[in-house]
């Protein structure tokens, strides 16, 4: 086996530190703009996982696991629970499954805002996409 050459990824790591945040912010923007403009839970989740994958490229799996100490399989399950529970919430009001509700609220800072239960459903999608993508990538990454 060849002797391990000590590499120095200082440029990659420094850039990643800045860029990962920009990517995550952009993914959140995509996520929240899904109702009126292109975007939504799926693309938002994919882009958030892209930020984490960039971290994985710049550092190693162990470091990223200390930065984000989460089990992505649990994230997937939580996301599913969010989506299904949002749909099943309709059962409590005896209306058909997946019936959504919305209303306008006056929030401090934001002013008149419409809040819609579809966002909760989309949050579930967002979490499932992150959970599944990261589970796949990490599982492939650690298996020999």
117 binds other proteins (CB under 8 A): no
For residue 22, state whether it binds other proteins (rule: CB under 8 A): no
By beta-carbon proximity to other proteins, the closer residue of 94 and 144 is 94
User: In angstroms, what CA-CA distances link 86 with 1, 45, 101?
Assistant: 55, 18, 10
Binding to other proteins (CB under 8 A) within 38-97 occurs at: 73-74, 76-77, 80-81, 84, 88, 90-91, 94-97
Among 61, 43, 32, 59, which Cα is nearest to 141's?
Answer: 61
Tokens of 5: 């050459």
Nearer to other proteins (CB atom), residue 54 or residue 98: 98
Per CB under 8 A, does 102 bind other proteins? no
36 CA to centre of own chain:
20
Query: 91 vs 107, which CB is nearer to other proteins?
Result: 91
Which residues in this chain contact other proteins in the complex, by CB under 8 A? Answer: 73-74, 76-77, 80-81, 84, 88, 90-91, 94-100
């Amino acid at each position: 086996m060849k002797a391990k050459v000590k590499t120095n990824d200082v440029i990659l790591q420094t850039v990643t530190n800045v860029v990962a945040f920009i990517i995550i912010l952009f993914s959140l923007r995509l996520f929240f703009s899904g109702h009126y403009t292109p975007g939504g839970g799926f693309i938002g989740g994919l882009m958030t996982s892209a930020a984490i994958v960039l971290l994985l490229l710049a550092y190693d799996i162990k470091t990223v696991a200390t930065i984000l100490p989460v089990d992505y399989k649990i994230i997937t399950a939580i996301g599913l629970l969010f989506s299904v529970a949002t749909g099943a919430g309709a059962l409590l009001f005896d209306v058909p499954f997946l019936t959504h509700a919305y209303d306008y609220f006056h929030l401090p800072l934001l002013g008149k805002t419409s809040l819609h239960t579809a966002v909760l459903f989309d949050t579930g999608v967002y979490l499932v996409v992150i959970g599944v993508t990261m589970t796949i990538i990490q599982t492939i990454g650690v298996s020999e």
